[in-house]
Structure 1
Amino acid sequence: MDGGNALLLRADLGEGVTRLALNRPAQRNALSFALLGAIQDALAQIADDQSVRVVILAAEGPVFSAGHDLREITGRRADADGGRAFFEAAMRRCAQVMQAIVALPQPVIAEVQGVATAAGCQLVATCDLAVASTEARFATPGVDIGLFCSTPAVALSRAVPAKAAMEMLLTGEMIGAEHAERLGLVNRVVPHAELAEATLALARNIAARSAHTVRIGKAAFHRQRGLPLAEAYAHCAAVMTENLLAEDAIEGIGAFLGKRKPVWRDR
């Protein structure tokens, strides 16, 4: 992943923060089959890395991601099956990447410096948090080329209200960063020159917490969203009970009551 020719760049920023950057700027960081595989591999490595507490997902160049690589897709239409097998594999790999972000123990923050469209917008919607530059733009414009953004709709409909998601999907219109913030697609919007600093500050804020607490909290959050209300409460009650018995909860509550700074052991 490291190196100037890599599809995905990894940099450890210290204090438990790792930055992954899409690195196909000349192709508008289109999510080729190989780039999706690189993201998948990186997430698998990070998942078991106790030194990584927060992940920033960013991109090189002026575009965050234009979505699936349409040139790659078009090229596979010459296959004997018209591209069906490749399309199925590409959609499956993309879904695996999105689910890996959700399942990753560490929180993932999207650092969005420019346009994020189609599966690129899906990537932003999938991340736990997102910080956007004032120059960022978002769209799911598949409808404009006869290809409804059905898989991006999965993440988008879970990040913004249903009618807002449908408007983006049915019109394909681009929305600005401030609009995206109002919808809840991104958490905050900052001046372009301050984007990297602001994203890193947020990441370090989270990284300073108990990694054990953050990990079980992220998992519980995503698990309960798919459950009926009573089951969601039952699940989270069980999680909180176990959390209360953890060393970091004992330390944290003790530090709060004793008016001192906690010392996390991440267990």
Structure 2
Amino acid sequence: MGEGNGNATRRECFVIAPIGPDGSEIRRRSDQILNYLIRPVVEARGFVAVRGDEIERAGLITSQVLDRIIQNELVVADLTDQNANVFYELAVRHALRRPFVQLMAKDQQLPFDVQGMRTILVDHTDLDSVESAKQQLGRAIDGMSSETDIVTPMSVALTLQDLRGSSSPREAGLSQIIETLPQMMDILQDLHRHLGMGGATGGGSDDEDHRRVRSLLESLAARGGVTQDELSGLLGGGSSKFERWVEALIQRAGRNHHAG
């Protein structure tokens, strides 16, 4: 999607954003993000930026919004304040795997479901931050093309459904591994943070949560869903009992890897 010019065919970029009532702080911020960040960047690339409240055509507004989310070549979504409508509309775009860019207020935390997705953070009261966000948005748009492989939490879930329904044992096994990856990484981090700092120092000191976590990690290792390198990262700083348990898991993961 490179730079455009004044004679190029203008395309529409739909802006998903919290809008709020007239005169509210939400509306004021949304207008500033639209007018001083999004609009200059997309217009320089041949797009017209349109937000939901700017749709003029008569008819059902929800239908028109969804039509733009589905049909428009580009969507920019502002996730600030975790507005429910914004996330509903963004989920539709995620499922379609069509080009989009995510923005969010710099002082806010991304919700869990989209933490792994690149998001431009901006402080709309700081001109340097706005300029940086404009540059990031421009680079994101310029790097997009019709061949771009867009991966979202929604697309991963849909792919897993297809793999589960496959008659191929290899694809069915792949779906199990893919499905456990996010949970696996959370477990590794949790073990390193909690058990690795002395939570497993005695024979009866582990609580039920830690036992369940260790049981699940053992199951992942038995299925080849954890690599030796990932497990090795847990070593260091833990009790001798914990270190021995991790070393045993590493050996098990290695056997499963070579057997596969």
Q: TM-score range by the shorter chain?
A: 0.3 to 0.5
Query: Counting strand residues as a fraction of each chain, which structure ranks higher?
Result: 1
TM (normalized to structure 1)? 0.33
Answer with 1 or 2: which has the greater Rg: 2
